[in-house]
Chain A
Amino acid sequence: MDDILVGTRKGLFALRGTEIGRPSFLGAAVTAVLQRGRTIYAAVGHGHFGAKLHRSRDGGESWEEVAAPSWPPKPTDADDKSPMTGAPWPWSLDQIWTLEADPRDPDALWCGTIPGGLFHSTDGGVSWRLLRSLWDRPERKRWFGGGYDFPGIHSLSVDPRDPRRLLAGVSCGGAWLTQDGGESWSVASKGMFAAYMPPVKRDDPAIQDPHRIVRCAGSPDVLWAQHHNGVFRTTDGAKSWSEVTIKPSSFGFAVAAHPRDPETAWFVPAVKDEMRVPVEGALVVTRTRDGGKSFQTLRAGLPQKHAYHLIYRHGLDVAPDGQTLAMGSTTGALWLSQDAGESWTALSRDLPPVYCVRFAT
């Protein structure tokens, strides 16, 4: 089975088979991971000492610190404040939130951060460039934080047909699409709506809160978004989105898209925003196999009584086989399913709070 990396509040854990190996970066938050072959990138948050990026070329045996994305000097005359809170936008890295590689060039990396910066590296993380094309968009100032003081880019999806096409998901700033490798951008969250905003702002695509956006690699015009107040799906490459309703709840953070079947995706519902716990204390995964028309509620092997696990937005992943899934919770449990979510096995219930779970590709 493929390796699974688990980034937690207190270190990085690697699974080979079902064995949890010795941790890396023990004590530090690991907020994003990416593995391609033997190369692993780990985003490490040191709290007082900031967010760093480490790289391993030997499957995690040894690590070297590479460059963390960094902002250019903030212009002294910049009127760069959040219109919602009045707080000046920091031009400084707080957290690395997501890492993606270009499928055709493993040294070409994209990184999404809090505050909402998109960075590109062409040298495996040795150096980074802020994409001013997105950062300087006037709409960026209107993005606002969801769960953090400032907004962030948590989802990056490279179109496997053409790596110049990239979609970025922002909480709370909608979805953004480039067709030209980041030279220019258009907002790509039409059809999403924001129940948490005044009616006049409800349909503003640049203030939507997609918690997570993932793509069906084999059918790249199909993407799924677990949004703050619902689930949305697009079948036209994010030109438009349609709402999908899930029982027992459409609230959640995580979504995983089947790598080949555009009709299949998995979600982990929770009681909506002010609660953020499983419905009736029972943890379930929901799966659709018909494009969101209907859902199966999958419980086997998951705790069904007094279970208060939350699955963060990067806490659920599906392997390239489309059958194996891994899921990690805020309570420090880690589950594996080898039958497309029908049943789950707990590999641990004692890890630190899990931020991200990811299969090697």
Chain B
Amino acid sequence: MGLVPRVTFTANLRRHVDCPSADVPGATVGEALAAVFARSPAIRGYIIDDQGALRRHVVAFVGGEAVRDRVGLTDAVAPDAEIAVMQALSGG
């Protein structure tokens, strides 16, 4: 297999659910995350709401930019991209 995106999760999530970094195929954020959830179904509900969108207080960065389509998760990802799933800081 050639280069594929890498998905990483904030350390704060590791307290709650096993979520190691994963190298997964996917041309969009949604495809890459779906590949992660296929391996580790327990992670999904921590990241995604009941309607399939990113949770209101979760943010995903692709190459340092926050994803634009938080509902459809259609942002493209390059084969060597890193998708970083973080908390959206709110409050102080």
Contacting A at CB under 8 A, from B50-75, are 50-52, 55, 57-58
| Other-chain residue from A48, A71, A92 in contact with B87 (beta carbon distance below 8 A) | A48
Complex contact B50–A92 (CB within 8 A): yes
Chain B residues near A52 (CB-CB < 8 A): 16, 45-46
Whether B42 and A49, one on each chain, are in contact in the complex, defined by CB atoms closer than 8 angstroms, is no
Inter-subunit contact A48/B55 (CB<8 Å): yes
Taking Cβ atoms with an 8 Å cutoff, the residues of A that contact B are: 27-28, 46-50, 52, 65, 68, 70-71, 73-74, 91-93
Query: Using Cβ atoms and an 8 Å threshold, which residues of chain B touch A73?
Result: 51-52
A sample of 17 inter-chain contacts (CB < 8 A) reads: A27-B15, A28-B16, A48-B12, A48-B57, A48-B58, A48-B87, A48-B88, A49-B13, A49-B47, A49-B55, A49-B58, A50-B46, A52-B45, A52-B46, A65-B17, A71-B50, A92-B49
Which A residues lie within 8 Å of B16 (CB)? 28, 46, 49, 52
CB distance from B55 to the nearest CB of A (A): 6
Q: Is the interface of B mostly helix, strand, loop or mixed?
A: loop
Residues of A within 8 A of B58 (CB): 48-49
B26-55 interface code vs A (CB 8 A; 1 in, 0 out): 000000000000000010011101111001
- Contact status A92-B51, CB under 8 Å: yes
| Residue of A46, A65, A70, A91 ringed by the most chain B CB atoms within 10 A | A46
Measured in the bound complex, the distance between the Cα atoms of B15 and A28 in whole Å is 11
Known: A46-B16, A49-B13, A91-B50. A68 touches B87 (CB 8 A): no
CB distance from B60 to the nearest CB of A (A): 13
In the A-B complex, the 4 residue pairs with the smallest Cβ-Cβ separation, listed nearest first, are A92-B50, A48-B57, A49-B46, A71-B50
Contacts of A48 in B (CB 8 A): 12, 55, 57-58, 87-88
Residues of B within 8 A of A28 (CB): 16
- Shortest beta-carbon distance, B1 to chain A, in Å? 30
Closest to B12 in A: A48
Q: Count of B residues near A, CB < 8 Å?
A: 18
Which B residues contact A (CB, under 8 angstroms)? 12-13, 15-17, 42, 45-47, 49-52, 55, 57-58, 87-88
For residue B15, which residue of chain A has the nearest CB?
A27
| Residues from chain B with Cβ under 8 Å of A50 in the complex | 45-46, 49, 55
Assess whether A93 is in contact with B42, with CB atoms less than 8 Å apart.
Answer: no
Chain A residues near B87: list those with CB within 8 A: 48-49
Cα A47 to Cα B12 with chains together (Å): 12
Q: In whole angstroms, how far apart are the Cα atoms of A71 and B53 in the complex? A: 13
CB contacts (< 8 Å) of B17 on chain A: these are: 65
Contact B50 A70 (CB under 8 A): yes
In the complex the two chains form, is B45's CB within 8 Å of A68's CB?
Answer: yes
With known contacts A46-B46, A49-B46, A50-B45, A74–B57 Cβ distance under 8 A:
no
Nearest to B48 among chain A residues (CB) is A50
Are B51 and A71 in contact, CB atoms less than 8 angstroms apart? yes
**Least CB separation from A65: chain B residue:** B42
Q: How close is B58's CB to chain A, nearest CB, in angstroms?
A: 6
* Bound-state Cα–Cα, A46 to B47, Å: 11
Query: In the assembled complex, which residues on chain A have CB atoms less than 8 Å from the CB atom of B50?
Result: 70-71, 91-93
Bound Cα distance from A47 to B45, whole angstroms: 12
User: Is the Cβ of B51 less than 8 Å from the Cβ of A47?
Assistant: no
A93 to B53, CA, bound (A): 13
Contacts of A47 in B (CB 8 A): 57
A30: min CB distance to chain B, Å: 13
- Give CA–CA (A180, B87) in the complex, Å: 43
Write out the residue numbers on chain A whose beta carbons fall within 8 Å of the beta carbon of B55.
48-50
CB distance from A12 to the nearest CB of B (A): 14
Distance in angstroms from B12 CB to nearest chain A CB is 8
Shortest Cβ distance from residue A234 to the other chain B in the assembled complex, whole angstroms? 34
Docked CA distance A318–B16 (Å): 32
